[in-house]
């Protein structure tokens, strides 16, 4: 039973990765988060920072309570790596509230080896806008 929506903007957009982490999750489609910008943090993975007029595209997943527990673990919530938050995103049908994970951003970093390709594979799979995919490809340069 789905009880939550989760907005993925990084490697969790990639369906196989998400399936391995959250076997109960179901992709609802693409979504847009405004006034936030995706960045690569010092740990080499994606996060978002508030930025007026910015847009972050991603994938909206319906998740079960078990999936949320798995995401909390994978995202390192207990270790303080990422914190969960709720944001309003424009989903496939309307604006909705979704769970998101935000790293405590301390500066720009470079993507871990292979990480950006996973993000790009997810963005391509869900056919995010071409201009946005180009922006993702340039992260960390």
Which two structure tokens, joined as six digits, stand for 77? 């919530």
Tell me the fold of 4-115. Hypothetical upf0131 protein ytfp (3.10.490)
pTM exceeds 0.85 = yes
Q: 6-15, pLDDT tens digit by residue?
A: 999 999 999 9
Is 75 annotated as catalytic?
yes
Q: 2-61, pLDDT tens digit by residue?
A: 579 999 999 999 999 999 999 999 999 999 999 999 999 989 999 999 999 999 999 999
Q: 94-115, pLDDT tens digit by residue?
A: 999 999 999 987 889 999 999 9
What value, to the nearest 5°, has the Cα angle with vertex 92 and ends 87 and 94? 60
Please report, for the chain, the start and end positions of each structural domain, with discontinuous segments joined by +. Answer: 4-115
What crossing angle do the helices spanning 130-137 and 115-125 adopt, rounded to 10°?
A: 180
- Which of 14, 28, 75, 103 is an active site residue? 75
């Amino acid at each position: 039973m789905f009880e939550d929506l989760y907005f993925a903007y990084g490697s969790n957009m990639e369906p196989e990765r998400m399936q391995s982490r959250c076997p109960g999750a179901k992709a609802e489609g693409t979504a847009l988060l405004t006034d936030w910008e995706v960045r690569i943090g010092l740990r080499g993975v994606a996060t978002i920072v508030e930025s007026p007029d910015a847009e972050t595209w991603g994938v909206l997943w319906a998740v079960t309570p078990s999936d949320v527990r798995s995401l909390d673990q994978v995202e390192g919530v207990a270790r303080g790596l990422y914190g969960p938050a709720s944001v309003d995103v424009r989903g496939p049908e309307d604006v909705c509230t979704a769970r998101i994970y935000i790293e405590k951003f301390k500066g720009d970093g470079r993507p871990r080896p292979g990480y950006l390709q996973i993000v790009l594979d997810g963005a391509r799979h869900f056919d995010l806008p071409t201009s946005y995919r180009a922006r993702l490809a340039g992260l960390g340069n």
